Structure 1
Amino acid sequence: MTDPTRVRSQAALTTSTGLIWILLGTVLAAICVAVLLTLVGLAPVVAWTGVALVVALYVGLLIVRFAVRPGSRRLVAMASVFGAIALVTLICVVLISGSAWGSLG
């Protein structure tokens, strides 16, 4: 039995060309870089490290799109890199916020 409502049964993870992951990845990476660049004044090392990691992960997303054969393996890899971009940014923002919060007291 296959359940079409399962997360792993989505078209973005089964039949997509990967273009949607490139488009959404571009938007996400741009937002993440913009957020991290606004935080450079609070913790430059963490912010610039985050920017570098986001850019590297975005390049990785592009490499996966064009280097891995079409199919669910490529799409799951692209989705994972997409999630990693968000996770790296979240970790950097939390670290910067924690250091800024600590310097208040």
Structure 2
Amino acid sequence: MGQTAGSLPLKRFVNSPGEIVAEALEGYLWTHPNVQLLEGYPEVKVLVSSTWQQNCGRVAVLSGGGSGHEPADAGMIGDGLLTAVVCGEIFASPSAFAVARALEEPA
């Protein structure tokens, strides 16, 4: 029998705690065709607007942070908003490598 909280069984949305961030991002991508992942996923979790063009005369705006409230920043990717989002793990900053990868892409 499963765990209980009082007399009610606990239910979860999480298939696997180690895969929660990847699954959330993959679900987000299914519903947002104008966003894509950079090469290196799942170690590097960088979402980029697919409408961004290099050397377009506009400034790229990036954001990043832990993925405890995913897809918090990812929901703000689009024209006139964020260019890319660098996602860390649950409540943990993204790695320096992921940040560097994100900075290289939209330049």
How high is the TM-score relative to the length of structure 1? Answer: 0.34
With CA pairs under 8 Å and 6+ residues apart, which has the higher RCO, 1 or 2? 1
Taking structure 2 as the reference length, the TM-score comes to: 0.33
Greater fraction helix: 1
More strand as a share of residues: 2
